[in-house]
């Protein structure tokens, strides 16, 4: 009979982690960056220490929150890699990326800062997405559709830094168009 692997977390640990992420998602959506660690722990019904055990820093918690959407965006980049118009594919993908944090006020700038911070929890969470979208971007650049003096990290950081004010009812930034036009070769 094999021993339980060390990879397998205890059932209560798993439950607590899920409750914390769920609570954080709701609170961040409501209050944005004003959300305190204490709020999250209380809403999840666990002690503060438990929150710290699962997420040693605020960035770790935010990373867990955005992970799901980033995974979706990674898959989306893969789909678009089949496109025969990589320039438009980059546009389309960035429009989706621009919209991802609409429901979590303030997270946008946190992600914008974390993206470029090598080794940070957020940067780690973004790695697969950066790799896949990076391929798409390079294809568009090789095809001569986009300027070549901008790399993936810079581009994602700028789009993630677009202000949350001035959004239309669908959450789109009027400025994304300016950036996309400016990117064209």
Partner DNA sequence: ACCTGAACACCGTTCAAGT
User: Could you write out the DSSP letters of every residue in 115-134?
Assistant: HTSTTSHHHHHHHHHHHHHH
- Cβ-contact 70, 131 below 8 angstroms: no
Residues in CB range of 115: below 8 A, 6 or more apart: 122, 123, 126, 153, 156, 157, 160
Q: Please identify, using beta-carbon distances, which residue of 92 and 179 lies nearer to a copy of itself.
A: 179
Farthest CA pair distance, the chain: 62
Q: Which of residues 107-126 bind a copy of itself (CB under 8 A)?
A: 109, 112-113, 116-117
Judged by beta carbon, residue 50 or residue 141, the one nearer DNA is 50
Q: With respect to DNA, which residue has the nearer C-beta, 5 or 165?
A: 5
Q: Is 3 in the site for DNA (CB under 7 A)?
A: no
Query: 151-180 mask for a copy of itself (x: CB under 8 A)?
Result: ---x--xx--xxx-xx-------xx-xxxx
Residues with Cβ < 8 Å from 56, sequence gap 6 or more? none
Q: Interface with DNA includes 175 (CB under 7 A)?
A: no
Q: Among 81, 87, 112, 102, which Cα is nearest to 180's?
A: 87
Query: Considering the rule CB under 8 A, would residue 149 count as an interface residue with a copy of itself?
Result: yes
In the set 5, 6, 84, 181, which binds a copy of itself (CB under 8 A)?
181
- Residue 71: contacted member of a copy of itself, DNA, none (CB under 5 to 8 Å, by partner type): none
141 touches DNA (CB under 7 A): no
What's the CA gap between 60 and 177, in Å, rounded? 32
Kindly indicate which of the ranges 54-62, 87-95, 125-133, 154-162 contains the residues binding DNA, using the contact rule CB under 7 A: 54-62
At 180, which helix (H) or strand (E)? helix 174-183
Query: Pick from a copy of itself, DNA, none: which does 38 bind, CB < 5 to 8 A by kind?
Result: DNA
Q: Does 120 bind DNA (CB under 7 A)?
A: no
Residue 136's nearest CA partner among 181, 173, 73, 93 is 93
Interface positions with a copy of itself (CB under 8 A): 109, 112-113, 116-117, 147, 149-150, 154, 157-158, 161-163, 165-166, 174-175, 177-184
């Amino acid at each position: 009979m094999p021993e339980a692997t060390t990879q397998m977390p205890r059932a209560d640990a798993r439950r607590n982690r899920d409750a914390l992420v769920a609570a954080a998602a709701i609170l961040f959506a409501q209050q944005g960056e004003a959300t305190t660690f204490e709020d999250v722990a209380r809403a999840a019904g666990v002690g503060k220490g438990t929150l710290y055990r699962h997420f040693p820093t605020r960035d770790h918690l935010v990373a867990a929150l955005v992970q799901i959407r980033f995974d979706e965006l990674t898959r989306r980049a893969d789909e678009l890699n089949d496109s025969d118009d990589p320039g438009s594919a980059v546009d389309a993908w960035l429009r989706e990326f621009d919209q991802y944090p609409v429901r979590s006020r303030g997270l946008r700038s946190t992600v914008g800062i974390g993206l470029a911070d090598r080794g940070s929890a957020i940067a780690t969470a973004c790695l697969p997405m950066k790799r896949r979208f990076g391929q798409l971007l390079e294809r568009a650049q090789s095809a001569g559709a986009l300027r070549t003096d901008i790399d993936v990290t810079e581009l994602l950081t700028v789009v993630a830094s677009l202000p949350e004010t001035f959004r239309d009812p669908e959450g789109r930034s009027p400025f994304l168009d300016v950036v996309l036009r400016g990117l064209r070769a």
